[in-house]
Structure 1
């Protein structure tokens, strides 16, 4: 198994607020899906921006073997263009070799199940399809590390299920890290957990280990794919509150 990410003692200091997050220490391998859990304001998005090299750390190291794509929660695509035009433009921005662009676009759209919607305007897509397009455009470069910040926020149950299925499909040969406050969208999907509270790393490791530490709080007969178990484990680790 290949190691994609190695983080050691990573810190960040907010100069205007005088606050600090970290230190973070963990490593991630290809094929793993990490659920990054924490309350709003815990530091999840800041951590992602550090991993994507969008912010300068205050200490520690981040080593990524390969390329990184960071899909922010706020990322949106203009509605007046088609799916194909969107991908063509973003392929140019990423400076993909001209001879590789067509294959890269097809591969990315197939991965998120949008290949048959190439000629539709983005505004005509459902919310879930638009979110899958945002994920798909990040796949053109075949990133080794894919960071998804709240990819299902604001979507209905069916749309969330399709985004979740797309994430599962693309995780086989890369590391995927997902921050989400919707427990149902990571239960049974994530192989690992990184739990952050008030900027501090509480846990980083396999989901089984995350659950084992607090399993005496679970309902009898519950399984690790049960969202109730995830919520219970989160509260036990977090000292209360909601994801």
Structure 2
């Protein structure tokens, strides 16, 4: 699947949101460039709320998002929530065709888009199988396929490896590496091992605030031309940020 190369960044300015008396986003400002961005933070840091705001399923109390290359609707946004809703009585192909229709993929292209998305997550051989008969890991991959069936320019994955075993997590990382480099992909996680192998940049949140935004090397206080940091280095830098 391909998308037009993006020339501008997604800019977030002054996002704030509350649930009752609790501030879950507090003056969040950042810039996301084309590539794969890791959104790290402990549970309750505000990651899911930020993802929902970017996906336009939640309107923040204040702040704005500026994304000139993205149309005003959500047709070119892909979103995988923590618990993706899949229609288990559909086959995988039927469900992806339905999602393609929801995302306004032209009818003539919907079946091919659905097949391409299933191929991208290595499930094309299960296209005609009922989703209820698939394993939990396969259903998660159907959810991922649904998030990319419209060739999104902005792809938002919220804790996408929840419930996956080690082999399934490794396969997920392979899938993410193959996604279009011309889009912005944001992967939310509280596990650095999900971020280290696939992300170009990282955003760290704590208590509703962004406490770091930059490259993996910068997070680990390494030169920008240094090799990609290993998980132990990221773990140490991450704990320094969230425990400060």
Q: What is the rounded CA distance, in whole Å, between the counterparts of 1:103 and 1:78 in structure 2?
A: 20
Shift of 1:167: 1.1
Contact 1:131/1:163, CA 8 A, preserved across alignment: no
1:28-63 CA-to-partner distances (Å, cap 9, x unmatched) read 222x11111111111000011111122222222102
Equivalent of residue 34 in structure 1, options 34, 37, 53: 37
Equivalent of residue 12 in structure 2, options 3, 7, 12: 7
Please, what TM-score do these two structures have when normalized by structure 1? 0.87
Q: Which runs of 5+ in 1 are unaligned?
A: 216-222
Aligned-residue RMSD, C-alpha: 2.1
Equivalent of residue 95 in structure 1, options 100, 104, 111: 104
Q: What is the rounded CA distance, in whole Å, between the counterparts of 2:243 and 2:228 in structure 1?
A: 20
Q: What is the rounded CA distance, in whole Å, between the counterparts of 2:48 and 2:22 in structure 1?
A: 18
**1:97/1:161 Cα in 2 relative to 1: closer, same or farther (>3 Å)?**
same
In structure 2, the partner of 1:219 is none
Alignment of 1:36-51 (within 5 A): 36-51=39-54
> Secondary structure of the residue that 2:28 maps to in structure 1?
strand
Q: What is the rounded CA distance, in whole Å, between the counterparts of 1:37 and 1:107 in structure 2?
A: 30
Alignment of 1:1-243 (within 5 A): 2-14=7-19, 16-30=20-34, 32-64=35-67, 65-66=69-70, 67-212=76-221, 224-239=228-243
> Secondary structure of the residue that 2:220 maps to in structure 1?
helix
Please, what TM-score do these two structures have when normalized by structure 2? 0.87
The structure 1 segments of at least 4 consecutive aligned residues displaced by more than 6 Å after TM superposition are none
Q: What is the rounded CA distance, in whole Å, between the counterparts of 2:230 and 2:26 in structure 1?
A: 30
Contact 2:15/2:61, CA 8 A, preserved across alignment: yes
Shift of 1:124: 2.7
Q: What is the rounded CA distance, in whole Å, between the counterparts of 1:166 and 1:4 in structure 2?
A: 23
Q: Which runs of 5+ in 2 are unaligned?
A: 1-5, 71-75
Contact 1:72/1:148, CA 8 A, preserved across alignment: yes
